[in-house]
Structure 1
Amino acid sequence: MPLTPEVVTADRAVLARLASLDVSFVPDEEPWFTIDGVENPRQIGSDGNGGAFVLLPSQDVLYVSSEGRAGIVADSFEAFIQLVVTRPYWLDILKFSGGGDLQEMRRAAEALEATLEDEDDINEAREEIRKRLDLGEADDPVAALYEAIAASDAIVRATDGSPFTTLFNRFSIDNNPILRNAAA
């Protein structure tokens, strides 16, 4: 059976563990953005930063940040859950992507993972979610994230009509002393 939002929301333990990874399956009630070509976007959840997760008719998962950035982050709902579980700091990988450079994203992922080594609650959440949803290991979640965003053709607009920008940010881990040291 394919992994769907309904399967995930039916399991309270999984919902709680995903919440600890900053993903909530309680969508916003009021729409604050539009997507060109999508009449009634299906917002499936949000994060603690005010961002929204949208399941598109193509089954891609779109992330819309509250800061005017947007892009497809996964080519299916299952790939999205894999991303969140494998790389719960996926948004930081994009922040430190060097403008969308895959090698910078890999460096960021390694440094961010190193900062989580002693985070037992996150590691426990990852394991429980994998077990309860019968998730295998993701092949290359950083490359999948890169490819999804690089190929993203969704045009998201604020309520005033202005388009959102890409999720790739210009920083690298060299701009952050903690991550720079973690990568050393």
Structure 2
Amino acid sequence: MPSLITAITDNAEAADFLSWPGDFDLDHTDHVEEVHLASGAELEGFAAEGAGGSYFFCGDGGEERPILYADSEGRAGLVAIGLPELLRLLLVAPWWRDCPGFSAAESAAASAVYLADLPDLADRRDRAAAALGLVLPTEAEVLARLREVALGADASAFVLVFTPEGTPYESLFAD
């Protein structure tokens, strides 16, 4: 079975949706500053977003590894366990960064803004998901899973550190 990264790069429609509104770019893998995991586990940048944020695989393995997101403002958090989970988040709630409290109200407000600009968002999302072979959860399910991953006990094992100063990033999420 080909990797999901390969599937994205091989399918223009999926890549386009993930690029926008997903704000997920596989062509940029470098973070804006030197960082490492406090645990010493491997950290591999594999994608970025337009405002300077980065996605990292954590630990050893392939696309099933935990995924950490770091923004350009010194905040980071675990967002998914494996690339399929991250892609479901980006497809269902590309506005997830506007939902730090994981609430339905935050998501509804953010989605209204996206839908006003992209009335065909749901159709494009569904075609991208089909091209990647992903079954999509509901918006409530994807945000509940994001909360579970981001605030779960394992999340503390994924503290991102600004290497030159040895200072940890702040949490990306409210708890």
TM-score range, shorter chain: 0.7 to 0.9
Matched, 1:107 2:67: no
Q: CA deviation at 1:106?
A: 1.9
Structure 2 unaligned spans of 5+: none
Aligned length: 162
Give the corresponding residue for 1:55: 57
Give the corresponding residue for 2:171: 166
TM-score, normalised with respect to structure 1: 0.77
Give the corresponding residue for 2:144: 143
Matched, 1:157 2:161: yes
> Structure 1, residues 113-171: CA drift from partner, whole Å, max 9, x if none?
2333332353343122112112112150010111111021211011321100111149x
- Which structure is higher in strand share? 2
Q: Could you say what secondary structure the match of 2:115 adopts? A: coil
CA–CA distance in structure 2, aligned partners of residues 107 and 64 of structure 1: 24
CA–CA distance in structure 1, aligned partners of residues 104 and 2 of structure 2: 28
Structure 1 unaligned spans of 5+: 171-184
Give the corresponding residue for 1:68: 74
Mapped contact 2:24–2:49 kept (Cα < 8 A) = yes
- Measured at CA, do residues 68 and 29 of structure 1 come closer, stay the same or move farther in structure 2, by a change above 3 Å? closer
TM-score, normalised with respect to structure 2: 0.81
Q: CA deviation at 1:110?
A: 1.8
Q: CA deviation at 1:107?
A: 1.5
Cα RMSD (Å): 2.3
CA–CA distance in structure 2, aligned partners of residues 82 and 108 of structure 1: 18
Counterpart of 1:15 in structure 2: which amino acid? Answer: A
Query: What pairs with 1:22-61 in structure 2 (closer than 5 Å)?
Result: 22-26=23-27, 27-28=29-30, 32-38=34-40, 40-57=42-59, 59-61=65-67
